[in-house]
Amino acid sequence: MTQPSDIEIARAAKKLPIQEIGAKLGLAPKDLIPFGHDKAKIEPEALARLDDRPDGKLILVTAINPTPAGEGKTTTTVGLGDGLNRIGKKAMICIREASLGPNFGMKGGAAGGGHAQIVPMEDMNLHFTGDFHAITSAHNLLSAMIDNHIYWGNELEIDMRRVVWRRVLDMNDRALRQITASLGGVSNGFPREAGFDITVASEVMAILCLAKDLADLESRLGDMIVAYRRDRSPVYARDIGAHGAMAVLLKDAIKPNLVQTLENNPAFVHGGPFANIAHGCNSVVATRAALKLADYVVTEAGFGADLGAEKFFDIKCRKAGLTPAASVLVATIRALKMNGGVAKEDLGAENVEAVRKGCANLARHIENVKSFGVPVVVAINHFSGDSDAEIAEVQNYVKTQGTEAIICRHWAEGGAGTEELARRVAEIADSDMSHFAPLYPDEKPLFKKIEEIAKRIYRADEVIADKKIRDQLREWENQGYGNLPVCMAKTQYSFSTDPALRGAPTGHTIPVREVRLSAGAGFVVVICGEIMTMPGLPRHPAAEKICLNDAGEIEGLF
């Protein structure tokens, strides 16, 4: 039997009109702003009505370090949501939106896989409801207004060499990483060095994902630092007068997007910073709304638990006052084998020894997640080639780590394949076993926070940073930003900053290349190793193969 492809399954989905999905949540048609027949934003008034309701249980899905073998974190998030609904629980899913740029780079995006997907998959991987475009516009409006301010006389006395607000595009475009702008003479302004990041790395994206409502969003936008004067005093977006117009541009983007799974269960897909260069979680607005609308909310945090879960706990939960009740750590036999040293082309062969070796990566993530006080259960996202012996090896290994590993067959079977996981997760969530606490207290100095994460989560020996970087951190502490959490930007492929270092490395060092203050979002971005805030395209971008076929269907995007 050949399993149809993800996109074939997605296209064959029997979607319900989005109004019917809303009705499952108790939302009336007028509470929804439709985008086509299968997507809708939720009116803030409808969400405000829910304030008195008790919160549901928050369940985090995280994963081992990703490998080219794939581990299926989103797929498992969707499968678990469907599984919970299937066993009679009222559950919702909250995931992040896809970024357009990378879809045209390495490979297309997806929203789950097999029979555990969120639809409409094609829209979600293209413009969706326009949220990222709104962020790009708002971000670049501020950029234009900064240069415009300087052009017209620079009343705020911005030090042109210290403009820290860059521009963004939702595109993988290495040519824009570093540019000289305002060339061409008097009418084009004062030449200066500048550059672009990808939209998901924008502080505006982080703010959209962390703000509790539109008023909070506007206030945080105003707090963003865009430049410094010669005396090093900060210039804020508020000084430029951009925050109001930015909020207007974002007034719809902050409304959560409702879609559905293949099994017609409701899902919010909203916000989407990358977890390797930003905090990597879907929006607080969507998560909070889901907690009011459902008894169980399954959400994910990007990439492996070293990046995704750490920032979910230390940034999103800390700042939004959320308390996760349980967590699921996703692994595949194949990815464990790769973490155990097997090359991608050799993954087909049974290799219990490699699985056992790879479990070191899994074990460390279990230990890390537990260190936040959150109970964790392992989900083995089943592939047809997995051998019984390999699976038994993982299950036995995980037992020695004080938890359990449950086989999940959602890719092939949908929610029916995650019933066992769903039951166990619900049980844990209902047991109030969680004693969540962030890793470090607010008042710890910034560099110590970086060291804490590097040593306790990444298991590095030390953090390397120039005097310039240490001085910068101290300066921000003196300006009153010392109480912020840190948002680590590093490769997702390893606990270390070396993407090739799989498994559970020790003895490595974490080199800090750059630090950026996101005063509006409320964290300090710490850029480690070679990670780029503007990706590039590969030699043959996926875009070369993306087209519409004669039936008007998209080919090559998935």
Going by the annotation, the residues of the binding site for ATP are 67-74
Binding segment toward its own copies, per CB under 8 A, in 150-158, 286-294, 424-432, 503-511? 150-158
Residues 6+ apart with CB under 8 A from 223: 236, 237, 238, 519, 520
Quick one: CA torsion of 439, 443, 445, 447, rounded to 10 degrees?
Answer: 30
Whether 411 is a known active-site residue: answer: yes
CA distances from 185 to 144, 151, 189, 191 (A): 17, 12, 7, 9
Q: Is 126 in the site for its own copies (CB under 8 A)?
A: yes
Q: Is 151 in the site for its own copies (CB under 8 A)?
A: yes
**Contact residue for its own copies among 12, 106, 144, 349 (CB under 8 A):** 144
Exposure string for 429-450, b = 16+ CB within 10 A, e = fewer: beeeebebebbbeeebebbebb
Q: Are 491 and 535 in contact (CB under 8 A)?
A: no
DSSP assignment string, 232-269: --EEEHHHHT-HHHHHHHHTTTTSPEEEEETT--EEEE
What is the smallest separation between the CB atom of 29 and its own copies, expressed in angstroms?
9
SS3 content of the chain, % helix, strand, coil (to 5): 40, 20, 40
Q: Which is nearer to its own copies, 144 or 349 (CB)?
A: 144
**Residue 108 vs 113, nearer CB to its own copies:** 108
Does 133 sit near its own copies (CB under 8 A)? yes
245 touches its own copies by CB under 8 A: yes
35 is catalytic: no
Query: Is residue 558 within the footprint of its own copies (CB under 8 A)?
Result: no
Residue with smaller CB distance to its own copies, 80 or 285? 285
Contacts of its own copies in 168-197 (CB under 8 A): 169-184, 187-189, 193-195
**CB within 8 A of 16, min separation 6: which ones?**
260, 264
Three-state DSSP at 40 gives: strand
Q: Is 275 one of the annotated active-site residues of the chain?
A: yes
Choose the stretch contacting its own copies; rule: CB under 8 A; options: 317-325, 358-366, 504-512, 550-558: 550-558
* CA–CA dist 449, 469 (Å, integer): 14
How near is the Cβ of 185 to its own copies at its closest, in Å?
8
Question: Residue count at the site for its own copies (CB under 8 A)?
Answer: 73
Clarify whether 495 is annotated catalytic.
no
The region of 147-155, 201-209, 332-340, 432-440 touching its own copies under the rule CB under 8 A is 147-155
Q: Which residues, 412 to 431, sit near its own copies by CB under 8 A?
A: none
**Contact set for its own copies, span 318-357 (CB under 8 A):** none
- Taking the least distance from each CB to its own copies, the nearer of 127 and 468 is 127
Looking at the Cβ atoms of 195 and 373, the one nearer to its own copies is 195
Which residues are CB-neighbours of 444 under 8 A, at least 6 positions away? 452
Distances in Å between the Cα of 319 and the Cα atoms of 114, 438, 521 are 35, 10, 10
Query: What angle is formed at CA 319 by the lines to CA 317 and CA 324, rounded to 5 degrees?
Result: 15
Point out the annotated binding site: 67-74
The reply to whether 21 sits near its own copies by the rule CB under 8 A is no
Cβ proximity to its own copies: between 118 and 171 the closer is: 171
The question of whether 313 is a catalytic residue gets the answer: no
DSSP state of 281: B
**Is 96 labeled as catalytic in the residue annotation?**
yes
476 catalytic, yes or no?
Answer: no
Copy the structure tokens of residue 16.
């319900």
Contact 222, 237 (CB under 8 A): yes
Nearer to its own copies, 18 or 355 (CB): 18
Q: Identify whether the C-beta of residue 110 lies closer than 8 Å to the C-beta of residue 124.
A: no
The SS3 of residue 298 is: strand
106 binds its own copies (CB under 8 A): no
Tell me the window of 48-56, 166-174, 262-270, 430-438 that interacts with its own copies (CB under 8 A).
166-174
Q: Which residue in the set 54, 88, 507, 552 belongs to the binding site for its own copies (CB under 8 A)?
A: 552
Q: Which of 2, 231, 321, 539 binds its own copies (CB under 8 A)?
A: 539
Catalytic pick among 39, 41, 57, 73 = 73
Contact call for residues 257 and 264 (beta carbons, < 8 A)? no
Stretch that binds its own copies, among 111-119, 224-232, 236-244, 317-325 (CB under 8 A): 236-244
List active site positions. Answer: 73, 75, 96, 107, 275, 303, 383, 411
